[in-house]
Each structure stands twice: as C-alpha cells, then as structure tokens.
Chain A
Amino acid sequence: MTVGLLYDSTRCVGCHACSQACKEQNKLPGEVQEQTTAYTWTVVKEHQGAFVRQLCMHCIEPSCASVCPVAALHKTKEGPVVYDADKCMGCRYCMLACPFEVPKYQWDRAVPVVGKCIMCYDRVKDGQATACATACPTQATVFGDRKDLIMDARERMRSNPGTYQEAIYGIKEVGGTGVLMISGVPFASLGLKTGLPEEAPPMRTWQVLSKIPDFVAVWAASLYAIHWITKRRDDVAKAEGAE
C-alpha cells in the first residue's frame, strides 16, 4: 500500500489550518510564510477565488531521491519521500532536480539543511493521518491509500457533474505523484506545473548511468589495444632500424 493525499480545491476555504498544523507537527520556527520555505513546508495560495495548496508531491519515482549523491532523500515503502539531514552534504541537486521546486534551503544558516514536506512520516508510519489532513476543517485535504484516493476523486467528479475539471493532477505527471489534486478551474490557472513529461525524469538519467559499466570495459580495452598497436609499431620500427 502506498499512501498519499487528495487535495480538493473546491472544498478548500483558505483557512491555512494545514500550514499551521504542519508547523506545529514538524516543529518549524516562525510564523507561516507567504511562500513555502525551509521553515514553512506547505502554504495555501489563492488564484482568482480558487485555492491551491503547495507541498511536496511525493512522486512515485522522485527526482530528488534519485539525484541525491548520499541518499539523504529517499522514498519510503509507505510512500512519503523523507530527508535525513545528517547525511546531507548540501549540494542542493535535489532543489535543481525537483520538477515542482519543492525542496527549500536554509540560506540564512551557517549550517544549512534542506526543508520539505515529509508527509508526516512519523505519524504515517504509525497508521495516523498527516497533521494537515487531520487539521483540515472541510476535508479539502484527505489522507489515505493512493488507489482509494483516486477512486474517491473519480466518485466526487461523477456525483458533482460540472463542478470539476476532467483530470486528476498527479496521476500521470512525472510518472505519478503521491499527492493528488482536483479542482474546479484549470490546473494552469492555479499555478500548477502543466506540460510535465509523463515519464519519470530519473529514467532519463538511468538510461545513461546504467550503460557506464559496459562502456568502461569497452573503452579501457580499446585504449589498451591502441596503446599495444602504437607501441608494437614503434618496436618494429626500432628493430628494423637496428638491422
């Protein structure tokens, strides 16, 4: 079972209870900020009367975890993508790689670490819902098995014709995400990234990386062969010269 979140923009009233609950759960300092930062892992944005949450999408094949040189980020078997600050060397490749621009950095600290939503992994591990879903007064954010959430979203679309856009955001984007979103207005007008590839980006890297062992073997052998030939040619020339 892979867990996830379903966010329904039409139910959201923009009360920011999720952002506040997230701060308390993850002991993040300061007030809830306008944008997501290393200290505010989720915010609610308003776009012409429609709300949208910003948080880690918990990709099925996360780019951030695939690029991390020290595996400080990793996809748990339950679904959340979590971060181990003690392993991190601070290269920020995760920030560059994330198609949703989720990981944020502590630019103001001498010893900075990455900050991002970890889907309340400590709670989820124990079978509890995330803090944001628990705090939501209108059930705009619900927690559950990703498969059930997809069925739930489809059910809402069926029983409320004309209310929702036809698609579920997160089904196909970059190979699918643990966080799913439905909305009454087009996703692009909510500021969500559209036009993302359906193939998970880590595949593109792996296509190259997986060929390296074979390449090295062939390349090293070829180099040695060239060396052998040129040296042999030299030796022959010398021997002929000596005769």
Chain B
Amino acid sequence: METSVRQDRFRVGFWTVMCAVLTLAFLVIAFLRFTKGLGAVTNLSDKFPWGLWIGFDLLCGVGLAAGAFTVTACVHLFNLKDYEPIVRPTILTGFLGYIFVIVALLLDLGQPWNIWHAIIYWNHHSVMFEVAWCVMLYTTVLSIEFSPVVLERFGFHKLAHLIHKFITPLVIVGVCLSTLHQSSLGSVYLIVPSKLHPIWYTQLLPLLFFTSAVGAGLGMVVIESYLSGRTFGRHLEMDLLAPLGRVMVAVLSIYGLMRIQTIAHNGAFRDIIGLTYEGKMFILEFAIGVLAPVIMLAIDKIRNNPTGLVMGSFFAVMGFVVNRLNVSVTGMERSAGIRYVPSVMEITVSLALVGIGMAVFALACRFLPIFPEAAPARRQKRGASPALVPAEEGH
C-alpha cells in the first residue's frame, strides 16, 4: 500500500512537471511565431505550406474526437442506454480535441485574428469554408452537450434538465455536423489530383476519412476509459468496451477493403510491391491501422482481455495518425520535390497541446461529475494518493 501510494505520487509529479515544461515551451514558441514569423519556428516553406500542425493537430485532433458523436449517437439515437456512463468522458474528449485544434490553428494561421472572417466572407465552393463552419457549430454543440456536467456541479439542476429535454435534436445536429466535417477533411485533398500520391488520392477520400475516424474514434474511447481507469482507480467496463472492439473490427474491415479497392483502381500497387518510400509508409499505415487491430480484436480471447482490447485500440489510433500524416505529408512530398521533417519547435507545440489536453481532462475528471458512478471505494482500494482526491470529495 505504501509503495503504491508513492508510485502514484511520483507518476503525478513527473507528468505535472512535463506538462509545465511543455506549456512554458509552447508559450515561448508562440511568442517567437508572432514576432519572427512562421519561418522562424517551422520547417514550412513555399514548397511545403502545410506541415505537422495541419497533419497531426488538425486532421488527427478532429478525427480522434469522433468517439464523441459515435457514442452520443449510440446512446441517444440508437437507444443503447448501457453506454450512458461513457457519454460524458467521450464528449469531454471531443470538446478538448476541438479546442486543441483551434489553439493549433491560432498558431498555424498567418493571420489568426481573421479566423472569424469565414462568418462574413462566404465561399461555398471551398471545403475549408464548410469545415470552418462545421467546426464552429460542432464545438458549440459539444459545449452545450457538456454543459449539464458543469451546471450539475454548481447546482443548476433545472437548467441541466432543460438542456436534457432537447438532447435528441441536439445530438442529431451534432452527428450531422460531425459526418460532414470528418468527411470534408478528406475532401480537402480532392483539389490536388496532380499532387497527392495515387496511393492516397481517390475521389473516395471523404468516405475513407469518415470511416477511419469512426474506427479510430472508438479506439480513443477505449484508450481514454483505460487511462482514466488507471488514474482514478476505476475498472475497465469490459462488458461495454469489448463490443466496441467488435464494431471497430467491422468498421476497419470495410475501411481496409475500400482502401485496397482505391489503390487497385489507381494502379498504385506497383509502388507498394516495389517498396518505394510511399509504398513503405503505406504498408506501415495499413499494418498498424487496419491489419493489427482487425486481427487482434476479431479474436474473442484478445478482445475480451483488457490489455488486448487496449492494445488493439492503440494500434488503430496509431495507424490512423500515420494515415493522416501520410495524406498530408508523405503523399505530398514527391510532387513538392522536397522532404518535409517538422522542426523541433513544431513537434514541441504538438506535444504540449496533447499534454495540456490530457491535463485538463484529468482535472475535469477530478472536479466535475464526469464519471457519475465512479465509486470512491474503488479509488481507496487502488490507494490513490491524497493529491488525486478532490477537495470536494465526500459531498
């Protein structure tokens, strides 16, 4: 008991320090960015205008937040009430994911103070215009969906109840907006048929982006349940999460088949067989993101085992990240004629945002009723350090 307490304390201390250092670094880089320009902090250039902040922060940040609309749809539209306990944490993840995207955009955009211009200067031929509107509206929807948690915490039960009354239309709007912008992030690349490598360019990009986001979004739900379980001494709800693994098998299989079909259609298999740079990167993406999770999660024994389920989900999420980086970076390098490797500062910003996101998630879990049925008894059983227990504990 004693040692486990100390270990917990050490872990919290280490991550807190890491987070503080990254936040400080983030602020310094942001200062450099707004005094010396994008060229001083990034490896972006006229040949490679979009880098890590778009490929990872934007494409992955939005994609991995897909668990929110998937789970809310399951509970409120498909009436799978069993999943009620994980709705709040997934909505919180989604909300933080979008905030993460917006903060990253504020650094990446040349004139971020003009970000609101999409509201007044319309161009409905632009995918980016549509994405901008969807992200704006969906962030609003997510904050309304999440607001009852905060309202309950501060005793505004009537208002929370009122919001709950409108939950069905709210969720339908949220699902529609998510479907649109998840797929539209793929449509963003439809305009570059002569630039994006044929392994990744296809007219089906919107469909592929949507499907893979649903798969990886569910993977994120499993992982965040696991992480919050570890931090707050809760058990993995295996009876809830294992079926999500089954859904991931179905979604990722369909996605994998569509991927192979589009590559065959483009005649790009010779790059894969020939093990070109792009071919190797595709094999990496497909092996981690599709083959590994589909095979692992299809086997009952692995899927029903907490470690197996988390590992399978982890592969799906990692493969998703590699896919988005392949579309935004690997696939664009040959036509650009240069290799793009993000600068240390670009990587630091991305890491800092992930770290801050996780810290805010952990804080919210501690001070807000995110896990309504999180039994304090379990916490004590795991021997959580006193620092982890909120001051309000026992109310």
Contact = CB atoms under 8 A, between A and B. Distances in A.
Interface of A: 35, 37-38, 63, 66-72, 87-93, 95-97, 99, 101, 104-113, 193, 195-197, 201-202, 204-209, 212, 216, 219-220, 223-224, 226-227, 230-231, 233-234
A91 to B, nearest CB: 6
Nearest to B81: A234
Given A89-B112, A107-B37, A201-B191, A227 B125 contact: no
Given A107-B38, A209-B130, A219-B179, A201 B193 contact: yes
Interface in B157-183: 168, 172-173, 175-176, 179-180
Interface of B: 34-40, 44-47, 49-50, 73, 76-79, 109-112, 114-115, 117-118, 121-132, 168, 172-173, 175-176, 179-180, 187-188, 190-195, 203, 206, 332
Contacts of B39: 107-108
16 contacts: A37-B46, A66-B123, A66-B125, A66-B191, A67-B125, A67-B126, A67-B128, A68-B123, A88-B111, A90-B109, A93-B188, A96-B49, A113-B110, A205-B190, A223-B73, A224-B168
B194 A99 contact: yes
Contacts of B206: 208
Most buried by B among A91, A95, A206, A223: A91
Given A99-B194, A226-B78, 15 more contacts: A37-B46, A89-B111, A91-B128, A92-B110, A93-B126, A93-B128, A96-B332, A107-B38, A202-B191, A205-B127, A208-B190, A219-B175, A223-B77, A223-B172, A223-B175
B110 A104 contact: no
Contacts of A37: 46
A63 B194 CA distance: 12
Contact of B125 (A112, A205, A220): A205
Nearest to B44: A107
Contacts of A93: 126, 128, 188
Nearest to B131: A69
B47 A227 contact: no
Contact of A87 (B49, B114, B129): B114
Contact of A68 (B77, B126, B195): B126
Nearest to A35: B46
Given A71-B123, A90-B110, A113-B110, A230 B79 contact: yes
A97 to B, nearest CB: 4
A212 B130 contact: yes
A197 B194 CA distance: 7
A87 B121 contact: yes
A201 B37 contact: no
Contacts of A92: 49-50, 110
Given A66-B125, A107-B38, A216-B176, A89 B76 contact: no
B200 to A, nearest CB: 14
A35 B45 CA distance: 13
Contact of A209 (B37, B118, B125, B195): B125
A95 B110 CA distance: 13
A95 B44 CA distance: 12
Given A66-B125, A106-B37, A112-B37, A208 B187 contact: yes
Contacts of B123: 66, 68-71
Nearest to B186: A208
Nearest to A234: B79
A242 to B, nearest CB: 18
Contacts of B118: 69-70, 89
A72 to B, nearest CB: 7
Most buried by B among A72, A93, A216, A234: A93
B50 A223 contact: no
Closest 8 CB pairs of A and B: A90-B110, A107-B39, A230-B79, A95-B49, A69-B128, A89-B114, A69-B129, A71-B123
A91 B109 contact: yes
A95 to B, nearest CB: 4
Contacts of B79: 227, 230-231, 233-234
Given A193-B194, A227-B77, A227-B172, A66 B203 contact: no
Contact of A197 (B77, B127, B193): B193
A205 B76 contact: no
B117 A110 contact: no
Given A216-B176, A227-B76, A230-B79, A105 B124 contact: no
A38 B110 CA distance: 14
Nearest to A221: B172
Contacts of B192: 96-97, 99, 201
Contacts of A220: 172-173, 176
A206 B187 CA distance: 10
Nearest to A227: B77
B37 A108 contact: yes
A211 to B, nearest CB: 10
Contacts of B73: 223
Nearest to B42: A107
Contact of B187 (A209, A223, A227): A209
B319 to A, nearest CB: 24
B114 A205 contact: no
A70 B36 CA distance: 25
A68 B129 CA distance: 7
A129 to B, nearest CB: 28
Contacts of B179: 219
A92 B108 CA distance: 10
Contact of A107 (B35, B45, B112, B117): B45
A140 to B, nearest CB: 25
Contact of A109 (B37, B109, B168): B37
Contact of B114 (A70, A201, A223, A224): A70
